[in-house]
Amino acid sequence: MSRVAVISGASSGIGAATARGLARAGFEVILLARREDRLKAVCDEIAAAGGQARYHRLDVTDADAVREFAQTVEQCDVLVNNAGGAIGIDPVLSADPSDWRKMYEVNVIGPLQLTQALAPKFRHTDDAVIVVLTSTAASGVYEGGGGYTAAKHGEHALAGTLRLELCGEPVRVIEIAPGMVATEEFSLNRFGGDQARADAVYAGVPDPLSADDVAETVVWAVTRPRHVNVDLLVLRPRAQAAQHKVHRVTP
Ligand code: NJP
């Protein structure tokens, strides 16, 4: 029987690349996100390459929908909590609290609900894996990043607490924390669709990480032997030594 991996936020960026990578590694993959057309396109691509994939349209912040989805899953070996994102770069004193709530909902409550709903589906295996896609924003702060860093710090706390609570169970809890990744939509969503502001994030940075770079890291961590838990793996582009220290080449 093939191993089953559920990936949230698989309609674009890191999640889609992770679904492709896990399918290549032999997993049957179940892709989750809100945009059905995108999910279908990624699934078709995986199937055309000989992989096994299906999708389920899901908003991870919707508790009832998450429970209903879990009822459709017989077996889950790997859960990749990847759905997430940032909204705005407003300073703490002028940020809209509703943006902070939305970031907390998708980056913390979403993974919480999905993990709770799918954990019972781990029972058949002696090597279940929960991956949590946090960020370098989970361990540091930066000006304008208060809402996002608060949410990602929360998601880091979820991963660490879960690892402690599941110690002794046949479950690995892996946190992958990337720095700057040039995906098509992350910064675009952050800046409300403003392409110029999104492009400026990566301007002049030689080789920011790609979605595939992160996906390969996730696949590597998941496919270690079952006694090897990659607790926390931080990866950044070489040009980004810290959140505030980015090498840019000016034309
Ligand atoms: O972002 P993007 P990335 N329910 O925007 C989905 C973290 N990270 O791949 O629902 C369900 O391409 C959304 O799909 P849809 C970041 O915080 C990134 O770059 O159809 N799904 C899409 O598939 C995040 O946790 C960078 O709109 C929901 C996906 O989530 C992860 O890496 C740096 C949803 C987001 O894909 C993937 O980011 C870093 C919901 N309510 C950490 N809301 C970076 N790119 O620089 C959204 O340190 N989605």
pLDDT in tens, 2-34: 899 999 999 999 999 999 999 999 999 999 999
Residue 166 has a pLDDT of 98
Tokens 């998708």 correspond to 106
CA distance 179 to 209: 8
Which residue, by CA, sits nearest to atom 22 of ligand 1? 9
Q: Is there an atom of ligand 1 within 6 Å of 109 CB?
A: no
Q: What is the CA radius of gyration of the chain?
A: 17
Is 148 tagged catalytic? yes
Question: Cα(175) to centroid of ligand 1, in Å?
Answer: 15
Q: Which of 6, 14, 40, 55 to mutate to test the pocket of ligand 1 (most atoms within 8 A of CB)?
A: 14
Residue 3: C-alpha distances to residues 29, 124, 136 (Å): 9, 11, 30
CB neighbours of 4 closer than 8 A, spacing ≥ 6? 27, 28, 29, 30, 73, 75, 76, 77, 78
Which residue, by CA, sits nearest to atom 5 of ligand 1? 186
Instruction: Please list the residues that pair with 177 across neighbouring strands.
Output: 234
CB neighbours of 182 closer than 8 A, spacing ≥ 6? 202, 205, 208, 209, 210
| Among 104, 142, 148, 202, the one annotated catalytic | 148
**Mean pLDDT value of segment 66-77:** 98
Q: Is there an atom of ligand 1 within 6 Å of 113 CB?
A: no
Residue 250 has a pLDDT of 85
209-233 pLDDT, tens per residue?
A: 999 999 999 999 999 999 999 999 9
When pLDDT is cut at 50, 70 and 90, the band that residue 64 belongs to is: very high
When pLDDT is cut at 50, 70 and 90, the band that residue 1 belongs to is: confident
Six-digit token string for 248: 């840019």
Residue 97 has a pLDDT of 98
Residue 117 has a pLDDT of 98
114-166 pLDDT, tens per residue?
A: 999 999 999 999 999 999 999 999 999 999 999 999 999 999 999 999 999 99
